[in-house]
């Protein structure tokens, strides 16, 4: 979940690392820090708080030197304190480490190192890493000690390590994201490409158990293969501007506004790829969609579309629960894994489970070279560009567009599906316009002090209701819950009282039933917000969204993305960096 960055070259490391950290802050923002090598010493600064606040207090750029590592934290082991912030030093203060992931056997390692009279000052699992390297250096070089230490670590990790007396960085990856940027006489290492995209578009995607030595040149070894390996250099097609806010106040608003373009890109897939996947789905004896969070809602929505137009039953399973379905997996089972980052640990574990059973794995992912991309038999790239805001917006509608087009392809109606999605472009443009944002701002003014918001829908609108509730609570911290309209009277309606807001998603297919549910809520004092193609007397507030049939989920979620954003602003929340959340969930 954390963001790590490293630099070695001829420039001032602290300035480049500070820039990299700011671009990685979406991965964690509890605390941050930096360590730079200078004159056989490690200069270290770290503290609790967001990067800009800590920089104002400590001034990272005072650190001189051309080799350094940095970190922005999303806490897992240990409280949010200055001591627990990264980088972490070894007991002898010679080694500094930044780390993303979880060392599962850190307690055993800590106990062993403590018996060797090595002292610890914090509560994190990371601190065992520099101390383990120090212990191994009793009879090894720094480089060899790193290899020996990394082989003893259990769990997922991305690590950057430096030594005061060595002009080098040692990097390691196993399960947690780490990419290498290759510049002219300089190298970058980071959790994600935007960290160094301003300086180089040339990227190396590391494999699990890769260890990289940077010492003026670069050598890559793989611990599993126990040999030196070659990894290709790719060129990233994202522009630097795509990873910047531009004229927008927040990435969330920028990414909401980009959805006309990203839906266009999503359906500009190679036709042959879609037909190939459709053939695999026809041949499979069972098809699973596996995803987490927002991507799960996209899969759930798509399962309704597949059922309706193809007659194919899709098993939609949360990544974290997938192991419970392991006994259904066979060689002729198809698993379609969906993830924005391609690094979601629960989805990757599900893929590993499928691979053990020799099931075929196809992925829909936004990040080229990600773990999911590399571990799939085939991949459809979303091509949405970098999504920096912690909340998924444009990638949700991109996933919906791809899955919808895949369903139409499987039904032998590819051109019809593509035309339906093209028809949305004008609607999406209008829904993301300044006029629509102003109309929704008026609603946000009314709802900003609410303690609870409910969302309901039927059929395709049910997954939309789930995603809408997730968006609201993720960024505004208002308790929100999504339900099938038919389930209200099975308990939830007991929570409705005078003024309770309820957002109702309406389509032409379910209008009578869902309006009846809305009336039940209004009869008990609820405040009804209608998302529909036409107004209804039951609505206290109306947001017009054109009727789009099977593609309703793409259009109907956009007003709620905007509402969530407006609520966050009114309640003093940071839309791009909600508390306790991080963009890529790389730990269990």
pLDDT at 135 over 60: yes
Catalytic residue list contains 555: no
Residues 257 and 207 grouped into a single domain: no
pLDDT at 445 over 80: yes
Residues 256 and 126 grouped into a single domain: no
The pair of three-digit structure tokens given for residue 382, joined into one six-digit string: 């979303």
Query: Average pLDDT of 151-159?
Result: 93
H or E element, residue 149: helix 142-152
Q: Which CATH number does the domain housing residue 116 bear?
A: 3.60.20.10
Residue 103 to residues 67, 212, 346, 353, Cα–Cα distance (Å): 25, 19, 16, 21
pLDDT at 290 over 60: yes
Residues 559 and 499 grouped into a single domain: yes
Q: How confident is the model at residue 512 (pLDDT cuts 50, 70, 90)?
A: very high
Read off the pLDDT of residues 469-508 as tens digits, 9 standing for 90 and up.
999 999 999 999 999 998 888 888 888 889 999 999 999 9
User: Last residue of a domain, which of 405, 431, 457?
Assistant: 431
Beta-carbon count within 10 A of 338 CB: 31
Cis peptide leading into 290, omega within 30 of 0? no
pLDDT at 580 over 80: no
Q: Specify the DSSP class assigned to residue 116.
A: T
Residues 222 and 320 grouped into a single domain: no
pLDDT at residue 460, as a whole number: 95
Q: How confident is the model at residue 588 (pLDDT cuts 50, 70, 90)?
A: low
pLDDT at residue 583, as a whole number: 64
Catalytic residue list contains 2: yes
Backbone angles phi, psi at 533, to 5 degrees: -80, -15
3-state DSSP helix/strand/coil percent for the chain, to nearest 5?
40, 25, 35
Place of tokens 């018996």: 115
Handedness of CA 324, 328, 330, 333 (dihedral sign): negative
Residues 282 and 313 grouped into a single domain: yes
Residue 384 to residues 188, 232, 259, 294, Cα–Cα distance (Å): 24, 23, 9, 15
pLDDT at 586 over 60: no
Q: Which of 94, 420, 577, 583 is catalytic?
A: 583
The pair of three-digit structure tokens given for residue 38, joined into one six-digit string: 């200078």
Mean pLDDT of the chain: 92
Where do runs of H (alpha helix) occur along 212-291?
251-257, 259-266, 271-283
CB neighbour class for 313 (10 Å; exposed up to 12, middle 13-18, buried from 19)? exposed
Q: Which domain holds residue 259?
A: 248-431
pTM for the structure as a whole: 0.80
pLDDT at residue 472, as a whole number: 97
pLDDT at residue 238, as a whole number: 66
Residues 50 and 170 grouped into a single domain: yes
Residue 493 to residues 314, 482, 486, 487, 523, Cα–Cα distance (Å): 30, 12, 11, 9, 11
Read off the pLDDT of residues 100-134 as tens digits, 9 standing for 90 and up.
988 999 999 999 999 999 999 988 899 999 999 99
Q: β-pairing, 501-505 with 527-532?
A: parallel
pLDDT at residue 236, as a whole number: 79
241, 195, 249: which is closest to 23 by C-alpha?
Answer: 195
In the sheet that holds 41-48, the strands lie side by side as 41-48, 31-38, 67-73, 3-8, 187-190, 179-182, 202-205, 234-235
Q: Specify the DSSP class assigned to residue 207.
A: P
Calculate ∠ Cα 11-15-20, nearest 5°: 105
Read off the pLDDT of residues 397-412 as tens digits, 9 standing for 90 and up.
999 999 999 999 999 9
Most confident of 79-88, 371-380, 542-551: 542-551
pLDDT at residue 241, as a whole number: 62
Domain count, the chain: 3
Residues 465 and 475 grouped into a single domain: yes
Backbone angles phi, psi at 16, to 5 degrees: -70, -40
Q: β-pairing, 218-222 with 67-73?
A: unpaired
Q: Which of 2, 146, 299, 573 is catalytic?
A: 2
Q: Specify the DSSP class assigned to residue 450.
A: -
pLDDT at residue 177, as a whole number: 87
User: Last residue of a domain, which of 390, 415, 431?
Assistant: 431
pLDDT at residue 157, as a whole number: 92
Q: Which CATH number does the domain housing residue 304 bear?
A: 3.40.50.10490
Show contacts of 255-258: CB within 8 Å, 24+ apart. Answer: 255/387, 255/388, 255/389, 255/393, 255/394, 256/393, 256/394, 256/432, 256/558, 256/561, 256/562, 256/565, 257/432, 258/384, 258/385, 258/394
Residues 210 and 289 grouped into a single domain: no
DSSP string, 151-168: HH--EEEEEEEEETT-S-
Query: Average pLDDT of 246-272?
Result: 89
Query: Residues, the chain, total?
Result: 588
Classified as helix, coil or strand, 393 is coil
Of 147-151, 154-158, 161-165, give the lowest mean pLDDT range: 154-158
Of 168-182, 199-213, 226-240, 325-339, give the lowest mean pLDDT range: 226-240
User: Last residue of a domain, which of 431, 450, 482?
Assistant: 431
pLDDT at residue 235, as a whole number: 87
Residues 253 and 286 grouped into a single domain: yes
Rounded CA-CA distance 289/310 in Å is 16
Rounded CA-CA distance 215/225 in Å is 22
Residues 174 and 124 grouped into a single domain: yes
Residue 370 to residues 131, 366, 367, 390, Cα–Cα distance (Å): 30, 9, 6, 18
Residues 504 and 483 grouped into a single domain: yes
Q: For the chain, what is the radius of gyration of the CA atoms?
A: 25
Residues 408 and 342 grouped into a single domain: yes
């Amino acid at each position: 979940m954390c963001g790590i960055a490293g630099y070695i070259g001829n420039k001032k490391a602290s300035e480049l690392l500070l820039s990299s950290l700011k671009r990685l802050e979406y991965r964690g923002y509890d605390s941050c820090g930096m360590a730079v090598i200078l004159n056989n010493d490690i200069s270290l600064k770290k503290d609790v708080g967001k990067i800009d606040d800590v920089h104002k207090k400590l001034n990272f750029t005072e650190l001189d030197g051309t080799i350094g590592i940095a970190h922005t934290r999303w806490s897992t082991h240990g409280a949010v304190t200055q001591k627990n912030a990264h980088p972490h030093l070894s007991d002898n203060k010679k080694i500094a480490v930044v780390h993303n992931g979880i060392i599962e056997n850190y307690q055993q390692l800590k106990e062993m190192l403590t018996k060797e009279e090595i002292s610890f000052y914090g509560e994190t699992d990371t601190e065992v890493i520099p101390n383990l390297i120090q212990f191994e250096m009793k009879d090894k070089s720094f480089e060899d000690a790193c290899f020996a230490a990394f082989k003893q670590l259990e769990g997922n990790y991305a690590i950057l390590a430096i030594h005061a007396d060595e002009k080098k960085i040692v990097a390691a990856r196993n399960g947690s994201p780490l990419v290498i940027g290759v510049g002219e006489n300089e190298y970058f290492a980071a959790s994600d490409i935007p960290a160094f995209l301003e300086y180089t578009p040339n990227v190396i995607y590391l494999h699990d158990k890769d260890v990289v030595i940077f010492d003026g040149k670069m050598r890559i070894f793989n611990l599993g293969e126990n040999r030196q390996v070659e990894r290709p250099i790719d060129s990233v097609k994202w522009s630097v501007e795509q990873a910047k806010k531009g004229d927008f106040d927040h990435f969330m608003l920028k990414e909401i506004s980009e959805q006309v373009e990203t839906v266009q890109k999503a359906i500009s897939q190679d036709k042959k790829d879609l037909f190939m996947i459709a053939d695999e789905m026809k041949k499979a004896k069972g098809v699973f969609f596996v995803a987490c969070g927002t991507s799960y809602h996209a899969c759930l929505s798509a399962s309704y579309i597949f059922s309706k137009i193809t007659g194919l039953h899709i098993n939609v399973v949360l990544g974290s629960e997938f192991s419970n379905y392991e006994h259904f997996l066979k060689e002729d089972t198809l698993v379609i894994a969906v993830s924005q980052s391609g690094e979601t640990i629960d989805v990757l574990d599900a893929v590993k489970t499928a691979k053990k059973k020799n099931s075929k794995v196809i992925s829909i992912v936004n990040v080229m070279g990600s773990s999911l991309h590399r571990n799939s038999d085939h991949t459809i790239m979303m091509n949405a560009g970098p999504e920096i805001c912690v909340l998924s917006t444009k990638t949700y509608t991109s996933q919906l567009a791809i899955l919808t087009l895949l369903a139409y392809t499987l039904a032998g109606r590819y051109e019809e599906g593509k035309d339906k999605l093209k028809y949305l472009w004008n609607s999406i443009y209008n829904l993301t316009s300044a006029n629509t944002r102003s109309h929704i701002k008026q609603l946000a003014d009314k709802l900003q002090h609410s303690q609870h918001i409910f969302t309901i829908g039927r059929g395709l609108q049910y997954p939309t209701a789930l995603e809408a509730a997730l968006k609201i609570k993720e960024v505004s911290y208002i308790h929100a819950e999504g339900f099938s309209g038919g389930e209200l009277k099975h308990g939830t309606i007991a929570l409705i009282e005078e003024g309770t807001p309820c957002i109702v998603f309406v389509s032409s297919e379910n209008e009578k039933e869902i309006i009846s549910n809305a009336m039940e809520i209004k009869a008990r004092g609820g405040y009804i917000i209608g998302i529909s193609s036409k107004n209804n007397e039951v609505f206290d507030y109306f947001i017009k969204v054109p009727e789009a049939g099977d593609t309703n989920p793409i259009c109907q979620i956009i007003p709620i993305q905007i509402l969530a954003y407006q609520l966050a602003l009114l309640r003093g929340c940071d839309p791009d960096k909600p508390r306790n959340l991080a963009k890529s969930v790389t730990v269990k």
